[in-house]
Amino acid sequence: MGIQATETLNFASPDIIWLKVPTSQIDIFNKFIEAYDNLAVVTTFDVQEGILALWVTPDTKNAALKIIRYLPCQVQLIAQPPIDKRK
């Protein structure tokens, strides 16, 4: 079904892990996450600030949190979602 044009995304969803990654490492971070099939989907929320949304399921959230700790990237968890500048 997907998201309808009239629906809005819930950026405070517990199924989104918000991260900050140096902009030079966004691509490699994305590739590492893609290597773990069906773990998560990475969305770049703000490329200039290096803000990423890691879309997970309740079943993959803990695994994703463990994996990102060991990636050779500088990853900072963000406690709350950033303000949506696209409005």
| 45, 82 contact by CB (below 8 A) | yes
Does residue 49 belong to any structural domain of this protein? yes
The answer to whether residue 70 is domain-embedded is yes
Our count of domains for the chain comes to: 1
Q: Which tens digits make up the pLDDT trace of 40-73?
A: 999 999 999 999 999 999 999 999 999 999 999 9
**DSSP secondary structure letters along 41-52:** EEEEEETTTTEE
Q: Is residue 27 part of a domain?
A: no
Q: Is residue 87 part of a domain?
A: no
- The Cβ of residue 52 has, within 10 Å, a number of other Cβ atoms equal to 23
pTM of the entire structure?
0.78
Range of the domain at 67: 34-81
54 within some domain: yes
**Per-residue pLDDT at 7 exceeds 90:** no
3-class DSSP state of 62: helix
Does any domain span residue 63? yes
Whether residue 4 lies inside any domain: the answer is no
Q: Can you tell me the distance from the alpha carbon of 71 to that of 68, in angstroms, rounded to the nearest whole number?
A: 5
Residue 17 located in a structural domain = no
What phi and psi, each to the nearest 5 degrees, are found at residue 46?
-145, 100
Hey, what are 87's tokens? 């409005």
Percent of the chain topping pLDDT 70: 78
pLDDT at 30 over 50: yes
- Map residue 44 onto helix, strand or coil: strand
